[in-house]
Structure 1
Amino acid sequence: MIIRRTLISLKAAGLVNVAAGTGGAELAVKPEDFTLFDIYKASGSMEENIFGFHEQPNPACPVGGNIHNILDSHLADAQKAFEQSLATVKFSDLAAELKKAESAEK
């Protein structure tokens, strides 16, 4: 079920073509033309903060009353850095790493 949902998301983003039934899936884009960030976007992960926490802290608590004021900007910066890092890794880079790892195992 998870793989099916993932393929549907990747298909909607135009990254893969999926054949009905047991036809399988194939890339719709050259591996050098998309990044891990494109996959991340396609998965819907960008719709929320990856560091979502404590949605309703107690405002009377010294920590809870200030937690979002103190941490939110730092966590937003960390998320931005994470997303920028993903954008530097092309799918073709991963394929090359896999090929290298397979060669090393032989």
Structure 2
Amino acid sequence: MSAFSDRFRRLASSASAGQIRQIATTDRLEGVEASSFRFGGRHSPLALAFISPNVDFDAIAQSLAALAGSTPVIAVSTAGELCSQPGESVYLGRVDKRDSQNN
């Protein structure tokens, strides 16, 4: 077993079922704070960030990592092409003024 799969297995086993939080924000990370990465007083095992290609990717990813503390953050650039599952979509369509560069 690789070190990655062992770490992933430990992270997955520490997560509570159904504990998913979606936060739509701007490039100023409005509404995102250190507590956003905690569930029931525990750090989330993982955070995924889908960052607009229209903003400073590195600055946003670094800011998220600082806020996340010990929660690992995986940040990717996206134009919104995400999948959905029956009854629940993870797709966030275009939101006007999502980032301050378009204000």
TM-score greater than 0.5 by the shorter chain = no
Query: TM-score interval w.r.t. the shorter chain?
Result: under 0.3
Instruction: Pick the structure with more strand per residue.
Output: 2
Tell which structure's C-alpha radius of gyration is larger: 1
Q: TM-score, normalised by structure 2?
A: 0.25
